[in-house]
Amino acid sequence: MKGIMDHSGWFFNAGLRDAQKKKLVSAVPQSSTSILRKTLQRLNYEGRRPVVMATVSPMDVHGYFSLSISAIYERDLIDQGALVLLEVNPNFPRTFGDTQVHISEVGALVESDRPIPTAKLAPYTAVDQKIGEYVASLVEDGSTIQLGIGNIPNAVAKELRNKRHLGIHTEMFTETMVDLIECGAVDNSQKGLLNGYSVCSFTMGSQRLYDYVNNNPSVLFKSCTFTNDPYTIGKNNKFVSVNASLEIDLTGQCASETVGNLQWSGTGGQSETVQGSQMSPGGKSIIAMHSTYTTKDESGKEVLHSKIVPFLARGAAVTTSRNDTDYVVTEYGIAWLRGLNIRQRVDALIRIAHPDFRDWLREEAEKNMIW
């Protein structure tokens, strides 16, 4: 489609990272609750109409389809007059919330019975487990939680099974959340906003997960412009957000979406959940990450690098401002940056860095006057 269609990436995966190297895609700097509004303003200026292509569960007796596993922006776009093209598939679960689309709103549809895409839980290591234990120690009973997908969030969820009266308000609803509901850790009774409901914008996982959300009115799929809005998040009690970062500097700046100048993922809801959690009564924002990563040198030997650095890599995008960074967790402990000055942040972050890099970080902080 080169030369015919432009591809703008809102969130990169492995395929888009490869496509970027071939100049086939370009990233759109954005935050999850503002990107839709800004894109629609651009389309309106250019005189273009948005198109929604979505997979839905079959129509009910009242003429409504369900947007099934994704309500991220679809309903917002439909409300703004988008052309609606639907794939109707009985293998997709029927869900509730901002997922209802009436037949009168549909431009065209096609029927399909392809299998629904599934994903397996990411296995986690002893390092992930240690990080999970530290994160779980910060989560009080009665907290409202936001977790993502991956090794560390899965480890965190495992460590939360002994908590009580937790609530769920998250962008992605995962299989580990089903585990927390079924073991009694989550009952959504003390959230303060939409009590009794697990709130999310989309889901992806195993068939067990899809069977759980199918026709389940206790899981409420809401537009991302609602779930990730900091003011919405702030209405929940003891909101705890758990996000990851690729690199963090000694002042607390988090580069969570780029490796140097190369796009790796996207801002997603990180900046907004970080802010919203700290607007919540008793809320906490947590950046959870391994202290190190490895690369291979020219001879094929593995080289260890610190993810806590004096300065972010050249060209790195700052996803979470140092003004907003709250808790940072590695396998070596917890650094609480809220209200600390630069010198105190340097000390706190060095304490949770890998021991092999602590002297180097102190030397760099002194040499570069990071105090």
Q: CATH number of the domain that 315 lies in?
A: 3.40.1080.20
Question: Does 257 participate in catalysis according to the annotation?
Answer: no
271 three-class SS: helix
pLDDT of residue 122: 78
Q: Would 363 be classed as within a structural domain?
A: yes
Q: Would 18 be classed as within a structural domain?
A: no
The residue among 111, 141, 172 that closes a domain is 111
Helices (H) and strands (E) in the chain, counts: 12, 25
**Of 94, 68, 93, 88, which Cα lies nearest the Cα of 207?**
93
Task: Decide: 219 and 124 in contact? Cβ < 8 Å.
Answer: no
The HSE-up count of residue 59 (CA atoms within 13 Å, CB side) is 15
- Residue 273 dihedral angles phi and psi, to the nearest 5°: -70, -30
Q: Same domain for 97 and 130? A: no
Q: Same domain for 302 and 225? A: yes
Domain of 222 in residue numbering reads as 126-367
pLDDT of residue 123: 84
Q: Would 19 be classed as within a structural domain?
A: no
Q: Same domain for 101 and 176? A: no
The residue among 111, 145, 176 that closes a domain is 111
Q: Same domain for 208 and 96? A: no
- Residue 218 dihedral angles phi and psi, to the nearest 5°: -80, -10
pLDDT of residue 231: 97
Tokens 């924002």, residue located:
285
Cα distance between residue 38 and residue 201, in whole Å: 20
pLDDT by residue (tens digit) across 155-193?
A: 999 999 999 999 999 999 999 999 999 999 999 999 999
pLDDT of residue 272: 96
Q: Would 121 be classed as within a structural domain?
A: no
Q: Which percentage of the chain shows pLDDT scores above 90?
A: 94
**Of 184, 164, 172, which Cα lies nearest the Cα of 146?**
172
Cα dist. 65→103, 208, 226 in Å?
7, 22, 21
Above 90 in pLDDT, residue 1?
no
Task: Decide: 12 and 265 in contact? Cβ < 8 Å.
Answer: yes
pLDDT of residue 307: 98
149 pLDDT band, cuts 50/70/90, is confident
121 pLDDT band, cuts 50/70/90, is confident
Q: Same domain for 91 and 221? A: no
Q: Which of 159, 171, 272, 331 is catalytic?
A: 171
Q: Same domain for 100 and 132? A: no
144 three-class SS: strand
DSSP letter assigned to residue 120: P
* Helix 355-367 vs helix 342-351: crossing angle, to nearest 10: 160
pLDDT of residue 3: 85
- The CA R_g of the chain, rounded to the nearest whole Å, is 22
pLDDT of residue 27: 95
Cα distance between residue 69 and residue 337, in whole Å: 36
pLDDT by residue (tens digit) across 233-253?
A: 999 999 999 999 999 999 999
Above 90 in pLDDT, residue 196?
yes
Cα distance between residue 197 and residue 183, in whole Å: 16
Q: Same domain for 79 and 212? A: no
Q: Same domain for 252 and 330? A: yes
Count up the domains in the chain and report the number: 2
Instruction: Give the mean model confidence (pLDDT) for residues 89-118.
Output: 98
The HSE-up count of residue 166 (CA atoms within 13 Å, CB side) is 29
pLDDT of residue 150: 82
pLDDT of residue 191: 98
Q: Same domain for 56 and 102? A: yes
pLDDT of residue 8: 93
Cα distance between residue 108 and residue 53, in whole Å: 10
Q: Where residue 43 sits, what CATH number does that domain have?
A: 3.40.1080.10
Q: Would 4 be classed as within a structural domain?
A: no
Q: Same domain for 279 and 332? A: yes
- Residue 123 dihedral angles phi and psi, to the nearest 5°: -65, 150
Q: Would 116 be classed as within a structural domain?
A: no
Instruction: Give the mean model confidence (pLDDT) for residues 260-265.
Output: 94
Cα distance between residue 293 and residue 266, in whole Å: 20
Q: Would 14 be classed as within a structural domain?
A: no
The residue among 78, 111, 144 that closes a domain is 111
Above 80 in pLDDT, residue 200?
yes
Q: Would 39 be classed as within a structural domain?
A: yes
Above 80 in pLDDT, residue 148?
no
Above 80 in pLDDT, residue 195?
yes
The continuous run of DSSP H or E covering 172 comes out as: strand 172-173
Q: Same domain for 193 and 326? A: yes
Q: Same domain for 175 and 233? A: yes
Cα distance between residue 159 and residue 275, in whole Å: 24
